[in-house]
Amino acid sequence: MEFTEAYKQAGPCCFSPDSRFLAVAVDHRLFIRNVISLKVEQLYSCVDKISFIEWAPDSQYILCGLYKRPMVQAWSLTQPEWTCKIDDGPAGIAYARWSPDSRHILTTSEFQLRLTVWSLVNTACVHVQWPKHAAKGVSFTRDGKFAAVCTRRDCKDYVNLLSCHSWEVMGTFAVDTVDLAGVEWGPDDSSIVVWDSLLEYKVLIYSPDGRCLQKYQAYESGLGVKTVAWSPSGQFLAVGSYDQQVRVLNHLTWKTFAEFMHMTTLRAPCNATIFKEVDEPLQLDMSDLSLSDNFALNIQDGLIGLLSWSCDNQYLLTRNDSMPTVLWIWDIRYLEPAAVLIHKDPIRAAAWDPTGGTQLVLCTGSPNLYMWSPAGAWCVSIPLPDFSICDLKWSSDGSRLLLKSKETFCCAAVVVQDLNDSTEEGSTSDDD
């Protein structure tokens, strides 16, 4: 793995969807860098500090949210003289996002008064009244033809289906929620999942025409759903909740396919491999990392705050927020934990290889980059002074990693390698 030198950043940073560019915000300026050389290709100056950036799906445009103003500015990489400024007047702007066609920007006003679709092709705009949320509550189909928008009126939750061609409302149906928390299209665009707020455990599956296909409620009289994630294939729906469990639903019957418990103690027999970060590596064979005795994790009451599928659908990672230094990796084929990674510091971010592999990277705010694959776990020390990784992102082609510290960033060229070839061994086992 090769690392670049550190560069200044003071805000959001992200790769373009085509993996050619890296956008870096520094106060009110936006730097567009070449991903390979990190040379500045474009420099844009906004009217205020940049709070949020998002690339258009075609990588030709980028928007900057200036939420202190509040305002949105957009720029074109192919037409340097082109610029766009969106000001929604007294309504303000709480959040902005691109449409799948990269030619419309959707903004949500302050206090969720309305969602507005702004065209970059002409001056037309379309309004949707009473969106339920600002930064969430909008989901697009994978083919980019339709959008599902959560709305609320007369103390009732609804899902509006919009055509992403004309932006007309194609249909509206009420959902059986007390306080709708989120909406997601299934990966095959044939179903829509909505879930209730944390005060009530309720997951509902709807068809696009508004028929309720399934209502799932694991328990009553307790805090409910925290995280929801479709598997990339659309076969499974993982639901993380406040009772420290992850339940996986099958898309054919919408019944519980598996339940993963974050137990206080792992007991033998168990095929999970335990990796524990220590200051000095122990000289152990990989076979010694298999769990052979009871292993106490000291988990208290908590919730599932991190949930993510590997791109090949084989693994699911979870983090119980009551024990933020531990990452669980579940094997979907055998319905059991494949590995448990125990770190010294809380896990800040974790991300799977986006190209379909099973390589996982994570960071804990330390100078080390941690990795896991079915072959084992290891860490690499960042060769930069005073650089502690607090966030990370993959490029879409899996060739680069963006690593952020508090005020700087660097990039790493990723080479898939065997565990024995890693730069520095930083994981050991604990069989006490």
Residues 287 and 377 in one domain: yes
Q: Are residues 63 and 95 in the same domain?
A: yes
Contact (CB, 8 A) for 131 and 151: yes
274 and 255 in a common domain: no
Same domain for 257 and 298: no
d(CA 169, CA 398): 37
Q: For the chain, how many structural domains are there in total?
A: 3
Residue 29 burial (CB < 10 Å; 0-12/13-18/19+)?
middle
Is 300 among the domain residues? yes
Q: How far is residue 147's CA from residue 96's CA, in Å, rounded to a whole number?
A: 15
Distance between CA atoms of 389 and 368, rounded to whole angstroms? 7
Residues 280 and 427 in one domain: yes
| Domain span holding position 134 | 130-261
Q: What is the mean pLDDT of the chain?
A: 90
Q: Among 99, 128, 157, which residue terminates a domain?
A: 128
Check whether residue 341 and residue 276 sit in a common domain.
Answer: yes
Last residue of a domain, one of 206, 231, 261: 261
Co-location of 364 and 431 in the same domain: yes
- Binned at pLDDT 50, 70 and 90, residue 45 comes out as very high
Say yes or no: 275 and 230 in one domain.
no
Residue 14 pLDDT grade (very low, low, confident, very high; cuts 50, 70, 90): very high
Q: Does residue 407 form part of some domain?
A: yes
pLDDT at position 264 is: 67
Asked whether residue 214 is domain-assigned, the answer is yes
Amino acid 288: pLDDT: 39
State pTM to two decimals: 0.89
Residue 342 domain flag: yes
Q: Would residue 2 count as lying in a domain?
A: no
Query: Do 382 and 285 lie in a common domain?
Result: yes
Which of 111-120, 129-138, 146-155, 268-277 has the least mean pLDDT? 268-277
- Judgement on whether residues 248 and 269 belong to the same structural domain of the protein: no
Rounded CA-CA distance 145/147 in Å is 7
Last residue of a domain, one of 90, 110, 128: 128
Q: Which two tokens stand for residue 288?
A: 């010694």
- Indicate which CATH number applies to the domain containing 330: 2.40.128
Sign of the Cα pseudo-torsion (393, 325, 304, 419, in order): positive
CATH number for the domain harbouring residue 85: 2.130.10.10
Which single residue is written with the structure tokens 């989901």? 139
